[in-house]
Structure formats: C-alpha cells, structure tokens
Amino acid sequence: MSTLQVKPIGYALGAEVTGVDLRRPLEPALKDAINDAWLRHLVLVFPGQDLSTNEQIAFSRCFGDLDKHEFQPRYTHPDHREILLVTNKLIDGKPSDTRNTGRNWHTDLTFTSRPAKGALLLCREKPPVGGDTMFANMYLAYETLSQRMRAFIDDMEAIHDASLVKGLEQRDPEKVADMKRRNPPVAHKVVQTHPETGRRSLLVGQRIRGIIGLSDAESAALLGFLNEHAESPEFIYRHRWTVNDLVMWDNRCTQHIALPDFDQRQPRLMLRCSLQGEVTGRVLEPAAARTDDREALMQMLAAVA
C-alpha cells in the first residue's frame, strides 16, 4: 500500500500508477486509493501488468459490475463474455470485425441507453510503431465554454446512433445488422453530471445524428463547434502503448479515439473489460431506428420530445 505511486503523465488527464501488482487481490484501502486517483486523473496507466484474462476480470470487478457486451455479443473472447477482443488479428481465419474499433471520437456505448462507467484495456500485442489511443477530458471541455453557451446547451439532448460508428462498412454486414437491431437510436443529455464527483461534463463525439429540437443546419453547426472544441489538443492525453499496459478510463467524463496510424499487417491485440454504467439515455421510438430519412426522423423526434 505504501508503495503505490501515482504520477501525472498528461496536463489535462492521465496518470501512471506503479508499485502495485494487479494479479493479487486488492485490499480495500488500495482499491480506494486507486479509485480516488481514477476520479482525479480520469485515465490511469498501469505499466507492466502481465495479467491472465481471469486476473484482468478480477481486478476490473473491483470497480463495478462488468458488462457482458450484449450490445455486440459477437466480438467477445470465446470463453469470457466479459472480455471484448479489440484486434486486427484473424479470428476463425477471417479479419476480425474489431480491427477498426474506436476510429472516431467517442464515449463507449453511448449508442445504448447505458453507456459504460469505465473500461480497462490491456495491451497484449502491438505494432512496432503507432496504434496510439487519445483520451480527452470532457470536464475541461464543458468548463471552458462560455457561461452563455453552457446555459444554451444545458438541457439539450443529442441522438446517438450505432450506425455512425466509423468503419461499419468494413465489417460483416450480418453482424452489423444485428448490432443496429439491438441498438436503436438513443437520446442523451449533452451535459452530464458525474455521479461520483458531481462535476459537469460535455457528452458529444462523432456518433451523434442530431440535436433534438434544432433544425438540421443548426444541429450540424452546433455539433461541429462542440466537437471541434472537445477535440482541442489542450484537453488530450495521447497514450503510446507498451505491451502489458493496462489503461483504465473513466468513461463518464472522457472521450477517446483509436488512431489508425500503424501498419495493419502488424498484429495489435487489446483486451477490454467494460464497467456497467447507469441508465442515462432514453431509447427513441423503434420507428426512428428504421428510417434513413432525416426529415422524417426529426419530425418523429419532435413528436416524442
């Protein structure tokens, strides 16, 4: 316990945690210290953690119930539903459908009514260069908006849509259809309040179809501004992976992106546990999920808003 060290590694967010062996059960005091560091730094990097899948699952469970990944059940570890495989390696002789996971700025599972509380991603194989992940602090993104803008967006709801996940066209169409069927569009507040810290943060990203109550043009302009603001370099920590890094992010106040800046023939294998979050969104009418006609969709949404 006394050897736990937490060293900031980014200006906006991110800290490296050393002096702890995550293969061993955590004492309550150590668990609390890690949780405090997590709430303060939003992204924790634990280098040199050679964890088995069971050990990763056990450590992750210290911070909440684990998602069984029902939103996309076809991408999990064959023996552990709690582990999502994020990889470009061949699976059953075919290119993995998760090889392009996270290629646009996003917060995990906002296309469900229950976005993840957090996630713990373990790097098992990586290309010699590139394949970094960037994280952005969404408290800062919110707090640096003008008071007028904060008041303007305070009650707004945005429509998050699984069909806007980048790179779906490269995946197995049948699995994509299944994922879309399971995840009709869902509305989330643009401004979220963190259940543990009480701080407010911005929830945007590139998987949003529009803002309820605004015209298409207004919506596009406002989202364009908010996304550009949220992606400002001063809010970002960029993680350059080393094998056996375990990175744990608070998904309630951050967004992230997986960069495709590497040779795709080189294997990259990441194992993810997702912590189950609270229900913060409302699923929209099933009819809204079926239409591709934006005007009809907006009218329907206006009717339910």
Q: Say whether residue 108 binds ligand OGA (CB under 6 A).
A: yes
Distances from the Cα of 40 to the Cα of 116, 254, 298, angstroms: 18, 12, 39
* Position among 13, 17, 51, 119 found at the interface with ligand OGA (CB under 6 A): 119
Q: Say whether residue 210 binds ligand OGA (CB under 6 A).
A: no
Give the whole-angstrom CA distance, residue 132 versus residue 28: 32
Q: Say whether residue 67 binds Mn ion (CB under 5 A).
A: no
Residue among 55 and 108 whose Cβ is closer to Mn ion = 108
Confirm whether 106 is a catalytic residue.
yes
Residue among 55 and 67 whose Cβ is closer to ligand OGA = 67
Give the whole-angstrom CA distance, residue 254 versus residue 23: 27
Q: Say whether residue 14 binds ligand OGA (CB under 6 A).
A: no
Residue among 103 and 150 whose Cβ is closer to Mn ion = 103
Q: Say whether residue 270 binds ligand OGA (CB under 6 A).
A: yes
Catalytic residue among 67, 97, 108, 161: 108
Q: Are 125 and 267 in contact (CB under 8 A)?
A: yes
Confirm whether 108 is a catalytic residue.
yes
Confirm whether 65 is a catalytic residue.
no
Q: Are 107 and 201 in contact (CB under 8 A)?
A: no
Q: How far is the CB of 109 from ligand OGA (least distance, A)?
A: 9
Q: Say whether residue 108 binds Mn ion (CB under 5 A).
A: yes
Sign of CA dihedral 155, 160, 164, 167: positive
Confirm whether 160 is a catalytic residue.
no
Chain residues 131-170 in contact with ligand OGA, contact rule CB under 6 A: 133
First vs last Cα of the chain: how many Å apart? 50
Give the whole-angstrom CA distance, residue 292 versus residue 163: 10
How many chain residues are in contact with Mn ion, going by CB under 5 A? 2
Which residues have C-beta within 8 Å of that of residue 231, sequence separation ≥ 6? 105, 136
Q: How far is the CB of 256 from ligand OGA (least distance, A)?
A: 6
Q: Say whether residue 250 binds Mn ion (CB under 5 A).
A: no
User: Tokens at residue 205, please?
Assistant: 């990203």
Nearest to 17 by CA among 56, 39, 43, 55: 43
Please count the other Cβ atoms lying within 10 Å of the Cβ belonging to residue 85: 20
User: Which residues are known catalytic residues?
Assistant: 106, 108, 256, 272
Q: Which residues bind ligand OGA (CB under 6 A)?
A: 86, 101-102, 108, 119, 121, 133, 256, 258, 270, 272
